[in-house]
């Protein structure tokens, strides 16, 4: 794995994942992760906690967030809120600022969707998918821009999907939302470069997580991506030198049927 290769190159006699993650690029940085209670969000929190970053974790289930915080060492604040509830989101951001100060890095990880024909989807399902996967990403990014513009070497990482670059039957609304995220990310990459804000997008294929009502473990490697491995790639993207922009990365499990 790439991370282990880098560790062997830098620490040939004594290496562990924590050594590489102790990166000065992330120490004392205030990082907001949405959808942090499960799956990739949970793995991201676990990978980033040892870096010395100040983590703000947002998800609907406060009890799961609290259990995650208790399992990790580091400066971690949690808040339970629905990301599509604008008042609750504003309250969460105010709480996180009180705890950790100005935001430096935003990871838009929260997402929802189902494998279902459009005709069989309810109006509520359509609205929720678009609200979580696209509208909330745009609005949250908008809210954090004043902070990010004041930060030195700010970053935005949008967790999208390989479907953001290709269509798939029976996932029309989800695919549309991820195409929208791709457009948002690529436009902001160019718009915010003048502010030294790096905007990046990670497009995973099938992840072994809770998507579409599955449980973690239902789609193990090589048929699905281990969330910990995907988190390693995300952290690698976030910790490149400030002049280097990994604006879009796509990754799949080997046994995914393209």
pLDDT value, residue 2: 42
State the DSSP code for 152: S
> Where does the pLDDT of residue 25 fall: very low under 50, low under 70, confident under 90, or very high at 90 and above?
confident
pLDDT for 100-154, tens place per residue? Answer: 999 999 999 999 999 999 999 999 999 999 999 999 999 999 999 999 999 999 9
> Where does the pLDDT of residue 23 fall: very low under 50, low under 70, confident under 90, or very high at 90 and above?
low
pLDDT for 185-205, tens place per residue? Answer: 999 999 999 999 999 999 999
pLDDT (average), residues 237-258? 94
Task: Provide the mean pLDDT of the chain.
Answer: 91
Side-by-side strand order, sheet with 155-159:
75-80, 54-59, 30-34, 105-108, 155-159, 198-204, 248-251
Percent of the chain with pLDDT over 70: 90
The catalytic position among 79, 95, 115, 174 is 174
- Residue 58's nearest CA partner among 99, 28, 26, 17 is 99
pLDDT value, residue 240: 94
CATH 3.90.76.10 fits 2-251, yes or no: no
CA 251 – CA 2 distance, rounded (Å): 13
For residue 188, what are its two tokens? 């902001």
pLDDT at 165 over 50: yes
- Is 174 an annotated catalytic residue? yes
- Domain ranges (residues) in the chain: 2-251
Task: Say what the alpha-carbon torsion angle 191, 195, 198, 199 is, to the nearest 10 degrees.
Answer: -30
Residue 118 backbone class (left: φ over 0; alpha: ψ -120 to 50; beta: rest) = alpha
pLDDT value, residue 29: 97
Backbone angles phi, psi at 25, to 5 degrees: -65, -25
pLDDT for 43-72, tens place per residue? Answer: 999 999 999 999 999 999 999 999 999 999
């Amino acid at each position: 794995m790439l991370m282990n290769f880098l560790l062997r190159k830098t620490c040939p006699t004594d290496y562990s994942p924590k050594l590489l993650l102790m990166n000065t690029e992330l120490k004392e940085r205030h990082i907001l992760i949405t959808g942090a209670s499960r799956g990739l969000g949970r793995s991201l929190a676990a990978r980033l906690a040892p870096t010395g970053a100040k983590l703000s974790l947002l998800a609907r289930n406060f009890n799961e967030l609290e259990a995650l915080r208790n399992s990790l060492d580091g400066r971690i604040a949690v808040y339970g809120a629905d990301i599509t509830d604008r008042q609750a989101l504003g309250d969460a951001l105010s709480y996180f600022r009180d705890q950790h100060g100005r935001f430096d890095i935003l990871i838009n990880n929260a997402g929802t969707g189902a494998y279902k024909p459009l005709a069989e989807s309810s109006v509520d399902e359509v609205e929720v998918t678009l609200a979580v996967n696209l509208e909330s990403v745009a609005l949250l990014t908008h809210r954090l821009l004043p902070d990010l513009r004041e930060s030195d070497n700010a970053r935005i990482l949008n967790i999208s999907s390989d479907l953001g670059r290709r269509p798939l039957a029976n996932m029309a609304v989800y695919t549309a939302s991820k195409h929208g995220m791709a457009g948002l990310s690529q436009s902001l990459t160019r718009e915010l470069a003048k502010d030294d804000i790096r905007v990046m997008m990670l497009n995973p294929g099938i992840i072994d997580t809770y998507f579409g009502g599955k449980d973690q473990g239902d789609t193990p490697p090589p048929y699905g991506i281990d969330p910990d491995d995907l988190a390693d790639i995300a952290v690698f993207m976030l910790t490149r030198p400030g002049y280097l922009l990994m604006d879009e990365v796509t990754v799949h499990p080997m046994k995914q049927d393209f």
